[in-house]
Structure 1
Amino acid sequence: MTAASARMPSPLLLGAGLMLVAFNLRPALTTVGPLLAAIREGTGLGTTGAAVLTMLPVLFLGIASVLGPRVSRWIGPDRGILLASAVVAAGLSLRAIGGLVPLFGGACVAALGIGLAGVLIPGLVKREFPGQAGLMTGLYTMTLCLGAAAGAGLTVPLQDLFGGSWALALAAWALPAALATLAWAPFARPSLAPATASSGGLRPAVWRSPLAWQVTGFMGLQSSLAYIMFGWVPLVLHDRGLSTVDAGFVAALMSVGQAPAALLVPTFAARLKDQRGAALAIVGLTLATYLLVVFGPLWLVVPATLGHGFGLGGCFGLGLTIIVLRVRDAAGAAALSAMAQGVGYTIASLGPLGFGLAHEIGGGWVLPSALFCALSLGAAGFSLGAGRDRHL
């Protein structure tokens, strides 16, 4: 029996624990959008403030992605995931206080936990499920999407349940995050393997590689599209005439649409020698369905939103897959992942901010949509380099 198997006696329980943690890594990001109109009305938050509110969590995802490898060397990935889940729960709990300071502060704290877990979980999956890494990564990504859908679809009903309090509706998601933390606690034991510096030795080469920057650019710009939609699509739909409840429900459908793509697109793309065609197709779908959601007839909103979710989920899954395919070993994957997520999420944070500022300047959704189109074209351009059959 190996040390890992002694420490983790049941792969089924380990997998279930990981999925519980994964489910709680998106509600902090998708629950604000459906309540954005109520938050602005109740606090006097302007369009610029709302744009900053949707930008800050993504920025802190990038910060946490850079810190992830250090946390892993410090306490090991197992305990690191426990810490990350606890931080998410703490950040969500802050929102119960009400007011803008706890709202912004809680968003940043929760995002730190989300970003930390996002860096640590893939490495743990590769360690504990070496023969099923693809399947487990797909299940992990799909569970992220289901958590995002639950957050988008259930938060407005929770607000009604709590007598119209948006603060309590947001903070309610701390409970499942806390339960996930408790569920993971039995697995959070010290790492028996000594830390190595192999990935650190590869970092200078990664940062000097044009291919690494192309992968990072694709990861950042496609992530920007997703976080724009997480933060702003409920308000877009509300402006189109949908009620707050219906807008939240349709936003949840967008996240539901991501789930099958998170499984199918990476599996398909990994079988291809060159991923450029797949990337162009999935980015094109994302852009076309976005235009239908914002400007198409109302009767097409639901199918267009599902299709848009499929596109966003496919882009995210493809981004993670390209990171793995462009390196030769686990050390290279760790170095490229830290760069692509750390820098990529920093780039992505500018998308929701720019989208909100464009809405304030233009007074509608035409100028923000032009920005969305430009980001989509940028992602497609970077995919032409990132999708080539090359290795670092």
Structure 2
Amino acid sequence: MIMGNSQLTNYVGQSRLDLKPRIGWLILGIILIGANLRASLTSVGQLVAAIRDDLGISNTLAGVITTIPLLAFAFLSPFASNLARRFGMELTLLISLVILTIGIGVRSFVGKETLFIGTVLIGSSIAICNVLLPGLIKYNFMKKIGMMTGLYAVSMNLFGAVGSGISIPISSSLGLGWSGALGCWGLLSLLTIFIWLPQLQYQQKSGQVEKTREEVKAISLWRSELAWNVTLFMGFQSFIFYTVITWIPEILEEKGLNTHEAGWTLSLMQLAMLPVTFLVSILAGRLKSQRLLVAVSASLLIFGFAAIIYGDKLLMPLWMIIIGIGIGFAFSLAMMFFSLRTQNANEAAELSGMAQSLGYLLSAIGPVLFGWLHDITHNWTVSLLMLVFTSVIVLISGIGAAKNEYVPIKGSSLKSL
């Protein structure tokens, strides 16, 4: 039986009152979960050569280390919302954090098998958290979606930047090796588990809102042009980010930077994303249509990649900052579209699952295609032009995703949950 409008209003109003005692811990928990979503992945890029040489694996197998998490995102994202409905969002997130911590520990043992097993566990746990956070925010912070999305996105990108920048210093300067540099992120996930534990006492209250399929009408995503635009926008902006994270350091080294300088230049790009990520999330939440923001994002990306090809090498840090701002715009919009194009937390999780599943499948192709183009052309120009073309696709799909509409629902419309 579906609740009437007055019942829903009273129930949701009561849930917001119940939220007040835990609001501080909830916000801190969301920020810390966001911090775990990239650091354990971006920290790998600068250490791939050391891992390859230490374990005696091929370049192809070494490249798989960064591809596995993206494939996990692609294949597990569709199941995240079902897990949340069955076990509750808070408990599902907690279990994912535990698996993440175990995965980081297993990956840190020096061995080929443990390296890949740990990477699979890490990718699987992050996939679930990626999907559920937008729905969690939409349910608990209906009037502050932009601010809360901005907070966890900033946390994600900040720790992602730190992960890229400190991997080599921890590995070499502190003498911990690549295993120690990767393993230190287990401390962050362990802290997050303890901060998140108090949320379990609110588990049943949150679950009551979305406890059965009958109470929430099915979303017709696969036939929705809007949902496909959100998915393509999510996928191609992610395609760009992970390709840049994987290959830009090597491009920078070929242009004269040493390993440390290339790592910190990549971190500079990610640091440039931080203020933009927060501000764009808030601004997007206040606009009925986000098309202007999409246009700014795509323009910055096109200009930045073109500048790397044809611009002054001495201005490379500036070009990377421009690209970072463009990626920050696109990433914020992608996260906001899950909430802005849906009417309740269940729909947000469903759209997030579809967009991240297919989107990360697309992004997994990016680094491989970029490297293949370099192998057959023996230069980076064609590969970088591919990113210019991808930025045009981001513009086209983003214009469609920015419409002031909601994804369609089969049957009668249920306006709020």
Same fold by TM-score greater than 0.5 = yes
2:32 to 10, 13, 20: 20
Instruction: Name the CA shift for 1:296/1:40 in 2 (closer, same or farther; >3 Å).
Output: farther
Letter paired with 1:85: L
Check 1:4–1:93 CA distance in 2 against 1; reply closer, same or farther (3 A cut).
Answer: farther
Please state how far the C-alpha of 1:46 moved relative to its aligned partner: 4.0
TM-score by length of structure 2 reads: 0.86
2:263 to 248, 255, 266: 248
Question: Is it true that 1:338 corresponds to 2:353 in the alignment?
Answer: yes
Counterpart of 2:145 in structure 1 is: 133
SS of aligned partner of 2:204: coil
For 2:212, the equivalent position in structure 1 comes to 196
CA offsets, 1:152-205, max 9 Å, x none?
1111111014536222211221121212122212223333333131687423x1
In the TM superposition, what are the counterparts of 1:176-325 in structure 2 within 5 Å?
176-189=188-201, 190-192=203-205, 193-194=207-208, 195-197=211-213, 201-203=217-219, 205-293=220-308, 296-325=311-340
CA contact (8 A) 2:149 2:335 kept: no
| Equivalent residue number for residue 95 of structure 1 | 107
Change (3 A) 1:16 1:390: closer
Asked if the contact 1:29/1:230 (under 8 Å) is kept, the reply is no
Distance 1:157 1:116, change over 3 A: same
RMSD: 2.4
Give the TM-score normalised by the residue count of structure 1: 0.91
Residue 46 (structure 2) pairs with residue 39 (structure 1):
no
Structure 1 gap ranges (5+): none
Maintained 8 Å contact 2:138/2:339: no
Deviations 1:269-316 (A, max 9, x none): 344443333212201202321343466433212222222111111101
1:65 aligns with 2:81: no
Q: Please say if 1:54 is aligned against 2:60.
A: no
Assess if the C-alpha contact under 8 Å between 2:134 and 2:335 holds in 1.
Answer: no
- Per mean C-alpha deviation after superposition, the further-off stretch among 63-72 and 318-327 is 318-327
Per-residue displacement from partner, 1:220-276 (whole Å, max 9, x unpaired)?
111111111222222222222222222111111111111111112233334444333
8 Å CA contact 2:309, 2:381 repeated in 1: no
Mapping of 1:87-166 within 5 angstroms?
Answer: 87-163=99-175, 165-166=177-178
Answer with 1 or 2: which has the greater Rg: 2
| CA deviation map 1:74-133 (0-9, x unaligned) | 221111111121222222212221243333332221111111111222222223333322
| Structure 2 CA distance for aligned equivalents of residues 256 and 340 of structure 1 | 25
How has the CA–CA distance of structure 1 residues 67 and 8 changed in structure 2, closer, same or farther, with 3 Å as cutoff?
farther
Match of residue 5 from structure 2? none
Give the match's secondary structure for 1:278: helix
Distance 1:280 1:293 in 2: 20
Cα 1:311/1:41, change in 2 over 3 Å = same
Give identity over the alignment, percent.
32
For the residue of structure 2 that corresponds to 1:23, the secondary structure is: helix
Identify the match of residue 185 of structure 2 among 164, 173, 179: 173
The 2-side partners of 1:152 and 1:18 are apart by 22
> Which stretch of structure 1 is more off in the superposition, 377-386 or 133-142?
377-386
SS at match of 1:97: coil
In the alignment, structure 1 residue 353 sits paired with structure 2 residue 368: yes
Structure 2 unpaired stretches of 5+: 1-12, 408-417
Residues of 1 paired with 2:133 and 2:261: CA distance? 34
Shift of 1:6: 5.1
CA pair 287-88 structure 1, distance change in 2 beyond 3 A: farther
CA contact (8 A) 1:75 1:191 kept: no
**Offset at residue 318 of structure 1 (A):** 0.9
Inter-CA distance 45–375: structure 2 relative to 1 (3 Å threshold):
farther
Letter in 1 for 2:103: G
Q: What residue is the counterpart of 1:326 in the other structure?
A: 341
CA contact (8 A) 2:305 2:385 kept: no
